Amino acid sequence: MKLMRVGPKGAEKPAVLHSDGTIRDLSGLIEDVAGEALTPEGLEKIAATDLSALPELDTSNRIGPCVGRVGKFICVGLNYADHAAESGLDVPKEPVLFMKATSAICGPNDDVIIPKNSSQTDWEVELGVVIGKEARYVDEANALEHVVGYCVVNDLSEREFQTKRSGQWVKGKSADTFGPIGPYLVTKDEIADPQNLAMWLEVDGHRYQNGSTKTMVFGVAHVVSYISQFMSLQPGDIITTGTPPGVGMGIKPEPVYLKPGQTMRLGIEGLGEQTQKTVAWNR
């Protein structure tokens, strides 16, 4: 299934992309694409429904973040060896973890706001992993049992805030609109192998990132198991798993960063595409 949330910001309706291309309203069935709806029992309830009998939603509606009420937005850094190299850093011996503020989450096609005083706003296409079953101290062999599905994430970053302003990476990762997710939460039964998905990102039509999840240092199962040793994971938590090379910071001879008025397009095989325009902070 491809689960969605559509409608104005703060008033999104839960929905599903039907096989006939229509978007069907799930609000009579579940409150939101969140929490209990993402558990095995919640998915069974949706799967048992005749989706063709549900009301259609206007396909011109805004697409919101594909998961609502996200409890934790956990990120894995330097999880592609070639990206670590372009960043001038060693491949880590264990997953590098940091958090991204949930207030950064926005829809996949919403405008991205360049933060006040930013000079180094950068892009990162990433595979998002959505938890559907509580996980505590799970082993790697069983880790994917706790995953409900996957989504596209643009892990936007302000590199000066991240690397030159002291402390942890979170303040370079958490500006409003720095976490577009979606357009869909694609349930794991539709993804044969999360470690073999092509991924890409373009800015103004120029392709900067062109990679695959097969080059991850630590795969999805390892990452879920690893994180569960340090904190419990609940349905609706999102783990974003790192980016392949081609970020602006790594461009030679000079880095390339985002400016207002540009357009990003990005996607992952089987998970859909995002398009965002960059705008200046103007408050």
Task: For residue range 35-88, list pLDDT tens digits in order.
Answer: 999 999 999 999 999 999 999 999 999 999 999 999 999 999 989 987 777 777
Whole-prediction pTM value?
0.96
The answer to whether residue 242 is domain-embedded is yes
Mark whether 144 and 272 lie in a shared domain.
Answer: yes
Nearest residue to 66 (alpha-carbon basis) of 143, 154, 156, 142: 154
The answer to whether residue 66 is domain-embedded is no
Per-residue confidence at 163, pLDDT binned at 50, 70, 90? confident
Please tell me the total count of domains within the chain. 2
The answer to whether residue 62 is domain-embedded is no
Average pLDDT value over all residues in the chain: 96
Q: What integer is the mean pLDDT of 200-223?
A: 97
At residue 229, the pLDDT reads 98
Mark whether 42 and 125 lie in a shared domain.
Answer: no
Q: 181: buried, middle or exposed (CB in 10 Å: 19+, 13-18, 0-12)?
A: buried
On the question of pLDDT at 214 being above 80, the answer is yes
Mark whether 86 and 37 lie in a shared domain.
Answer: no
pLDDT tens column, 240-271: 999 999 999 999 999 999 999 999 999 999 99
Mark whether 88 and 50 lie in a shared domain.
Answer: no
Q: What integer is the mean pLDDT of 5-25?
A: 97
- The single-letter code of the amino acid at 112 is V
Mark whether 36 and 95 lie in a shared domain.
Answer: no
Mark whether 184 and 255 lie in a shared domain.
Answer: yes
Handedness of CA 255, 258, 262, 267 (dihedral sign): positive
Domain range for residue 171? Answer: 73-280
In the numeric block, which tokens belong to residue 99?
């958090």
The answer to whether residue 64 is domain-embedded is no
Mark whether 16 and 151 lie in a shared domain.
Answer: no
At residue 176, the pLDDT reads 98
Mark whether 170 and 249 lie in a shared domain.
Answer: yes
In the numeric block, which tokens belong to residue 51?
């989706």
pLDDT tens column, 96-136: 999 999 999 999 999 999 999 999 999 999 999 999 999 99
